[in-house]
Amino acid sequence: MNALAQKLSEERRARLAAERLLELKQAELQAANRKLGRHAQALTVEISQTRAQVETFRDENQRVKSDLTAAQQRIAVIERRLWHSIETIQDGFAFFDGDTQLIGANRAYLAVFDGLEEVGPGVSYARLLQLITEEGIVNIGDHSAADWRAMMMDRWMTPDPAPVVIRLWNNQYIRLIDSRGAGGDVVSLALNITDSVRSERALKVARDKAEAANRAKSAFLANMSHEIRTPMNGVVGMAELLTETPLTEDQRLYVDTIRNSAEALLVIINDVLDYSKIEADKMVLHPEPFDLERCLHEIVMLLQPKAREKGLEMLIDYDLFLPTVLIGDPGRMRQVLTNLLGNAVKFTLKGHVILRVTGVPDGNAAQVHIAVEDTGIGIPADKVGHIFGEFNQVEDAHNRKFEGTGLGLAISQRLIRLMNGEIWVDSTEGQGSTFGFRVTLPVPDGAAPVLPKLGPGLRRVLIVEPLVANRDILARQIEMLGMAAEMVGSGDEALRRLAEGGIDLVLVEHGMAVMDGFELAEAMRAVGHAQPILMMTANPSYAETDPARGLVQGLLSRPFARRDLFDRLARLAPPVVVATPAAKDASLRVLAAEDNRTNQLVFSKMLQDQGLDLRFAANGQEALDMLETWQPDLIFMDISMPVMDGQEATRRIRALPGPLARVPIIAMTAHAMDGDREAMLASGLDGYLTKPLRKADILSAIAAHRDGGADQSPAARIAASPLR
């Protein structure tokens, strides 16, 4: 029993152990199942995420494929459009790769190789050169085919091929422009420039014809100038001589009409010639030292008779601190000033014309400002902007009161621009105009003005002048000299001021109403006023004969230059050094070479009262023959003469031995075109006078020789008139 019970007990313990083991295994199995479940769950999540990523990648891949397809389509469209555009270009267009093989070309490029099937993508540039030479497509001129191809290939292989023009068999001209990229690819343009080449040829032919026509025009103008001036010399010269002879009133009227008409014709001729030269770019400046103030006074004196006829006052206001000697073209400067002053006198019916000159130092030069003011008819506002145009005048062409070509201002503007200056106008209709210009002119060494040193006795000056504008000018000049200026407008006012005392000098105008300058001088002396008197007069010869001349200490011929004012003040308050002209040499020997007998007569009559030993030669050879037995001091040489012209005669004189080779020779000629002056002076001439000759110009040249002496240079010795 015990054994059975024990066995049962053991079985029970074994069963219990088995059950516990089973429970343990079950627990482990459950734990393993739970872990496996968790792992399966995690794996499921991971699979789900991976599946989502795969789907995302699939979608993105699809989008990329879609975008790539769209891009390829767009590229295809762009490429198609690009080639379509290239095909529409009329000029050739081609691409080559780095190995010089053709990638593609438009029809215009390939048309040159029409019928050659191998010309297409893949053909080399060298093969193209070979084909166009072998097939005769290109005109290689004098080159051999091999040399031409080598030349073109060398060009092609350079980093930056220079453009080249080739000529095709059908006379078409092609300009090749090749551009090499960074990778060696080349873009080639073949531009058809046939029309341009033909246009250039046509233009060259037209230009040659125009230049030939211009040369013919210049030659015609030069010839016409010579042909017109030669007889005009006789007309003007004889008219001038007639005025110096006893004439009836009617005869003087006739002579003045002839002379004025001839002068007017010369002005027209000069304007037309000058305008033609400017239009042909033949106008050349000839700068040299000249006295600007003297030039101004010469012009004013020339225009003074016309101004007096109209009762106009002409005044000059020249800056005392501006040098008078400057470097420029005196002839062209005189021409501009004559135009401006002449217009002022022409278009002013009453009042005055004032010429104002001021200067601003600019290193070794001076900015010269010149203004011409008048009280004339003025210019309408709508015409001011056109006044410098060709053939323009203030008045209408069908209702003209004033003569003229209408070229003067246009020529003046061109001349001032040629001098690198500016010209302008300011005008009010019915009140007057001011024309002015500014130029910068070099100043020679030693040309600075030297003001007089006034003594202590000259401190206060009384200016007696009815014209307000002239009073203002004189007051400024007096004050610049360090004196005080007081102004009155009549003799009665002057006497009242003198009675107050303190006046050291009286500067009085001769021609005053009620009491003129001499009457004032008599009244001053009658009441005991002893101040020195300087009188300004427009008629010095008449003033010199006045009975009261001894009451004034000096006469100033108006308008007067600063040297005249300085000279008069020097006599009142020395010291001032004033140059005086040398005495005339009555035995001066003058030879005139002139083939025209009328001109010989005019020349001799102009100089008949100068006490000269004057002889004539009919040509250059005759002048040379005369020099063998007679040595002149001065020669006037006509240029156009038979047998031997003036230039050749001058060259031969300059080649003579001894002092004869240095005799001054002045040209007198009807040639007036630019270039004539240079050619004549190059032959050895010292001066240049154009026909018709003026007596004043001839006398100035003779006086310059007398005064200057043989030691001076020809330019300083001969006061020759420039081209005008």
Q: Which CATH number does the domain 460-572 belong to among 1.10.600.10, 3.40.50.10190, 3.40.50.2300, 3.90.180.10? A: 3.40.50.2300
Report the Cα 431 to chain-centroid distance in Å. Answer: 32
Name the band, by pLDDT with cuts 50, 70 and 90, for residue 485.
very high
Angle formed by the axes of helices 330-346 and 292-309, nearest 10°:
20
Residue whose structure tokens are 């005869």:
251
pTM score, two decimals?
Answer: 0.49
What value does the mean pLDDT of the chain take?
Answer: 80
Q: What is the predicted pLDDT for the residue at 582?
A: 37
- Hey, what CATH class is 589-717 in? alpha beta
**Domain range annotation of the chain:** 1-87, 92-192, 288-442, 460-572, 589-717
525/416 Cα distance (integer angstroms): 52
Residue whose structure tokens are 């005759």:
622
Q: Which two tokens stand for residue 205?
A: 């032919």
Lowest mean pLDDT among 197-206, 292-301, 709-718: 709-718
3 state SS of 539: coil
Mean pLDDT of the region 343-348? 90
SS (H, E, C) 657-724: CCHHHHCCEEEEECCCCCCHHHHHHHCCCCEEEECCCCHHHHHHHHHHHHHHCCCCCHHHHCCCCCCC
Instruction: List residues bridging with 361 in a β-sheet.
Output: 366
Instruction: List residues bridging with 443 in a β-sheet.
Output: none
Dihedral (CA of 657, 660, 662, 665) sign: negative
Q: How many CA atoms lie within 13 A of 369 on its CB side?
A: 11
Of the candidates 359, 285, 293, the residue with the CA atom closest to the CA atom of residue 325? 293
How distant, in Å, are the alpha carbons of 253, 540, 667 from that of 719? Answer: 32, 25, 12
Instruction: List residues bridging with 289 in a β-sheet.
Output: 327
pLDDT digits (tens, 9 = 90+) for 523-568: 998 888 889 999 998 777 778 888 888 899 888 887 777 777 777 8
Name the band, by pLDDT with cuts 50, 70 and 90, for residue 662.
confident
619/616 Cα distance (integer angstroms): 9
pLDDT digits (tens, 9 = 90+) for 24-33: 877 777 777 7
Name the band, by pLDDT with cuts 50, 70 and 90, for residue 710.
very low
Q: Do domains 460-572 and 589-717 have the same CATH topology?
A: yes
pLDDT digits (tens, 9 = 90+) for 558-574: 777 777 777 787 777 54
Exposure b/e, 296-328, CB count within 10 A at least 16 = b: bbbbbeebbeebeeeebbbbbbbbbebbbbbbb
418/410 Cα distance (integer angstroms): 12
Mean pLDDT of the region 666-683? 68
Residue 265's identity, in one-letter code, is L
Q: What is the predicted pLDDT for the residue at 611?
A: 82
Q: What is the predicted pLDDT for the residue at 620?
A: 92
Lowest mean pLDDT among 51-65, 530-544, 591-605: 51-65
3 state SS of 364: coil
Query: 589 exposed, middle or buried (CB, 10 Å; 0-12, 13-18, 19+)?
Result: middle
Q: Pick the more confident residue, 282 or 233.
A: 233
Q: What is the predicted pLDDT for the residue at 566?
A: 76
Contact at 8 Å (CB) between 606 and 698?
A: yes
Mean pLDDT of the region 196-221? 80
Q: Which two tokens stand for residue 424?
A: 């302008």
Q: What is the predicted pLDDT for the residue at 506?
A: 94
Label the pairing between strands 173-180 and 164-168. Answer: antiparallel
CA dihedral 97, 98, 99, 102 (to 10 degrees): 20
Of the candidates 581, 609, 587, 590, the residue with the CA atom closest to the CA atom of residue 703? 581
Q: What is the predicted pLDDT for the residue at 679?
A: 65
Residues in the chain: 724
Q: Return the biggest CA–CA distance within the chain.
A: 205
Q: What is the predicted pLDDT for the residue at 282?
A: 65
Residue 171's identity, in one-letter code, is N
The domain 92-192: what is its CATH number?
3.30.450.20
How distant, in Å, are the alpha carbons of 250, 259, 580, 605 from that of 246? Answer: 12, 16, 33, 15
Fold of 288-442: Heat Shock Protein 90 (3.30.565)
Q: What is the predicted pLDDT for the residue at 478?
A: 86
Q: Where are the beta strands (DSSP E) in 132-275?
A: 138-139, 164-168, 173-180, 186-192
Of the candidates 232, 222, 329, the residue with the CA atom closest to the CA atom of residue 272? 222
Contacts of 268 (CB under 8 A, 6+ apart): 405
Angle formed by the axes of helices 125-134 and 145-157, nearest 10°:
150
Q: What is the predicted pLDDT for the residue at 580?
A: 38
107/642 Cα distance (integer angstroms): 73
Q: In what order do the strands lie in the sheet with 92-96?
A: 102-105, 92-96, 186-192, 173-180, 164-168, 138-139
Exposure b/e, 375-400, CB count within 10 A at least 16 = b: bbbbbeeeebeebbeeeebbeeeeee
Label the pairing between strands 352-362 and 313-318. Answer: parallel
3 state SS of 400: coil
